[in-house]
Amino acid sequence: MRQPMPARRHWLLSGLASLACPGWSLAKVPTPGQPADGPPAIRATDTLHFPEDFGAHPGFRTEWWYITGQLQTTASPAQVYGFQITFFRTRVDAATQSHSAFATHQLVFAHTALSDLQHGRLMHDQRIARAGFELADAALGDTHLTLKDWTLQRTGPATQSRYYSHVGARDFTLDLNFTQTQPLLLQGEAGYSRKGPRPEQASHYYSQPQLAVQGRLRHQQQTLAVQGKAWLDHEWSETLLDHDAVGWDWIGMNLHDGSALTAFRLRRQDGSTLWAGGSLRHPGEATRTFTPQAVRFTPGRTWVSPASGARYPVQWQLEIAGTHYQIVARMDNQELDSRQSTGGVYWEGLSTLRDAQGREIGQGYLEMTGYVAPMAL
């Protein structure tokens, strides 16, 4: 999903506990932010509070802040790029009994990617570090994430958020400002988002759709002024996905009329849908939340990755509560190999949303996981 999406990327984190430092004792010491009587739970009765819930929730197992969008250069002729910036935080349970100041209680890692549509090229970079020692941090109380010189931070009132991110990757640098243009979108039931058949298989999850973007992109020895639209997800949870889930398909789409559309499904090994969900909000209206039965993904044209051999559907038919959409990738090769940080390979890229007649009605990101190998929970 990142959701995980849905419950985005829990499976990617399972091998990271081996990074915890030694220093064990028989006395149990809770992880900072974790209750002494055990890990916290996601409950439908919980109420989200802002700006506090913009910040980190270190008691929970996994958390991510995920920004995707489209950039267009302001100079003519316009060039179009897709981009992704994701910060993750994960609790390391292997260190809960350690008294050592060097024990790893939290890990922070990040991905960034740039889809260069002009040249059909995807660029990707990743980092990971244990929290502390002025190397990495996911702050409490508001969005303030750092990983060496990569950063994402929020300022302003809770209803007028402004974000800034600097990411210096190997092949490009992003300096971007994001401005909130719509109210927060609380996913699921007031931010309680089910990700499986059992109630505990859930996350707290909100989105900031239709963010206005301005900034600079440094690429191929040029510094380009860019603008565009983006989508931000922030999600945290404790319980891993259902053991029958091998992957998921997810979209977050900014529609041209100002609407925001989310849809996802979790897949079984045979490709059938284990769980599904989504939401649609038109400007000035209440959010409509969809049940698993209302969301249907049907794969269309596929692309075979020359790197992994995985076969990804890069076109989809999507039916939500009787309304039909088409999802079309803007570029086939948007596969990310993140095995140096989160441990997985997945497809995530800029895509177009079309109506049933094939007319473009929005832009956003499509994410597909579990196509190289099933999730390793």
Q: Lowest-confidence range among 56-65, 306-315, 337-346?
A: 337-346
Cα–Cα nearest to 224, from 167, 173, 178: 173
Amino acid at the residue 76: S
Cβ(365)–Cβ(347) below 8 Å: no
Q: Which residue has the higher pLDDT, 293 or 134?
A: 293
pLDDT of residue 30: 37
Could you tell me the residue ranges of all domains in the chain?
11-16+44-368
Beta strands in 36-135 (DSSP E): 62-73, 80-91, 106-116, 121-130
For 40-51, write each residue's pLDDT tens digit: 889 999 999 999
- Asked whether residue 217 carries a pLDDT value surpassing 70, the answer given is yes
Q: Tell me the three state secondary structure of residue 223.
A: strand
From residue 275, give the alpha-carbon distance in Å to each of 214, 250, 269, 374: 36, 12, 13, 16
What's the confidence (pLDDT) of residue 78? 92
Residue 205's pLDDT band (boundaries 50, 70, 90)?
Answer: very high
Which of the pair, 365 or 200, is modelled with greater confidence?
365
Q: What angle do CA 311, 315, 317 make, to 5 degrees?
A: 120
In the block, residue with structure tokens 């008691």: 59
Q: What is the pLDDT of residues 313-365, one digit of tens each?
A: 999 999 999 999 999 999 999 998 876 656 578 899 999 999 999 999 999 99
Inter-residue contact 150 to 141 (CB < 8 Å): no
CATH of domain 11-16+44-368: 2.40.370.10
Res 342: pLDDT: 62
Higher pLDDT, 5 or 219: 219
Q: What is the pLDDT of residue 95?
A: 60
